[in-house]
Amino acid sequence: MPDVTGDFGHIPVLLDRCFALLHPALTRHRPDGSGAVLVDATIGAGGHAERFLTELPGLRVLGVDRDPTALDIVRGRLARFADRLTLVQTRYDGIGTALAESGYGTTESVDGILFDLGVSSMQLDRVERGFSYAHDAPLDMRMDPTSELTAAEILNSYDEAELTGILRRFGEEKLARRIATHIVRRRARTPFTSTAELVEVIYQAVPAPARRTGGHPAKRTFQALRIAVNGELDALSAALPAALGALRVGGRVVVMAYQSLEDRIVKRTFAAATTSGTPSDLPIELPGHAPQFTLLTRGAERADDAEIQRNPRSAAVRLRALERVRATSEPARKGG
């Protein structure tokens, strides 16, 4: 097994489990992965991709990330695999376009897909990006630095109702209206420019008893702003159907989510994909109504204590996986 941290200091979450789940799909053609394609839809620093490329010397990998800095890092880190690694800068809901432009095709053309959602530890560690409430930095929060919307623009220009909606929907913040009121009141004096200014206002808005429970009082607000800036939930809702459509029969997808809003979308999409369209009171499967996918996990899998101790970021992870068992055009057999 390769050194998965190297000089990067980032330990891939549930690396062994991801490899075990995807390995059967990637070695169906040949034991070394020849003839198989893996899409790492959130390649980040390349920790997961490195494991697959190292242990399966015939495998081809399409790595996708919206962050050009991440792609620069992984391009250097995995330079020795350049003949088998294609990198594309796009948000993961652009997976279909990335596949088409890379010559793989968008329909039943790949064998494995991996999503490691949310903000990466690499991005959190870059203080200037403004993702963390623990360090003072510009209110940016863009995963793609070339995109236009920033956290500062949201805080300084959205009205109180819009701010309340963002905090409530994307942060599940119970004090959303109270925090939004304090934000609007503060920006009337001076526009927000830094994360420390926002943290200070949140402390003023959240009553002392509430500050003593549920972790850092700014956690949910920062999550909400990050999701809003990057359109994360809309991107995920679009990316998952595209990913499922790209899988060959026998292909597998693994998704790791780190907060309930993401996991809810994954759970709902996977449930629909693995549910028969035949009415439950009929004794046989109607042609064309059988599910095209089957679940590989019972519910959401979590990291064990050993993994969490080794890699604290894994404490929040929820992993779900499924496999394509039937082609889109394949009719169902009698009896399912």
Per-chain mean pLDDT for the chain: 89
Residue 231 labeled ligand binder: no
Residue 65 labeled ligand binder: yes
Q: What is the pLDDT of residues 231-254, one digit of tens each?
A: 999 999 999 999 999 999 999 999
Model pLDDT, residue 7? 44
Residue 304 labeled ligand binder: no
**Other C-beta atoms lying within 10 Å of the C-beta of residue 293:** 21
pLDDT(335) > 50: no
Regarding whether 240 and 184 lie in a shared domain, the answer is no
Q: What gap in Å lies between CA 206 and CA 201, rounded to an integer?
A: 9
pLDDT(310) > 70: yes
Specify the number of domains making up the chain: 2
Q: Domain end: 208, 230, 252, which one? A: 230
Regarding whether 297 and 239 lie in a shared domain, the answer is yes
Q: What is the pLDDT of residues 156-165, one digit of tens each?
A: 999 999 999 9
Judging by DSSP bridges, how do beta strands 110-116 and 247-257 pair with one another?
parallel
Residue 116 labeled ligand binder: yes
Helices of type H across 82-231: 95-101, 121-125, 151-157, 160-171, 176-189, 195-205, 208-211, 219-230
Q: Are 140 and 152 in contact (CB under 8 A)?
A: yes
Q: Give the helix/strand (H/E) hosting 29.
A: none
**Other C-beta atoms lying within 10 Å of the C-beta of residue 192:** 19
Q: Worst-scoring range by mean pLDDT, 54-63, 154-163, 193-202, 281-290?
A: 281-290
Is 7 part of any domain? Answer: no
Is 10 part of any domain? Answer: no
Residue 47 labeled ligand binder: yes
pLDDT(197) > 80: yes
Residue 46 labeled ligand binder: yes
Is 3 part of any domain? Answer: no
Say what the pTM is: 0.88
Regarding whether 44 and 168 lie in a shared domain, the answer is no
Q: Domain end: 197, 230, 263, which one? A: 230
Range of the domain at 19: 15-122+232-324
Q: Domain end: 175, 199, 230, which one? A: 230
Model pLDDT, residue 2? 37
CATH number at residue 264: 3.40.50.150
| Residue 69 vs residue 167, higher pLDDT | 167
